[in-house]
Amino acid sequence: MLTWQDIENRVLHGNPPANQRVEKTDDQWRNILPSDVHDVTRQAGTERPFSSPMCAHFEPGFYACACCDTMLFDATQKFDSGTGWPSFTQPLEPNAVAYFSDGSLSSVRVEITCSTCDAHLGHIFPDGPAPSKLRYCVNALSLKRIA
Measured CA to CA, the distance from residue 31 to residue 122 in angstroms comes to 22
Q: Bridge partners of 52?
A: none
Cβ atoms within 10 Å, residue 139: 28
Task: Tell me whether residue 105 is exposed, middle or buried, using C-beta atoms within 10 angstroms of its C-beta: 0 to 12, 13 to 18, 19 or more.
Answer: exposed
List 55, 67, 117, 137, catalytic entry: 137
DSSP state of 52: -
Can you give the length of the chain in residues?
A: 147
For this structure, is 137 an active site residue? yes
Q: Give Cβ neighbours of residue 69 (< 8 Å, ≥ 6 apart).
A: 144
Measured CA to CA, the distance from residue 100 to residue 80 in angstroms comes to 24
Measured CA to CA, the distance from residue 22 to residue 65 in angstroms comes to 12
Active site residues per annotation: 137
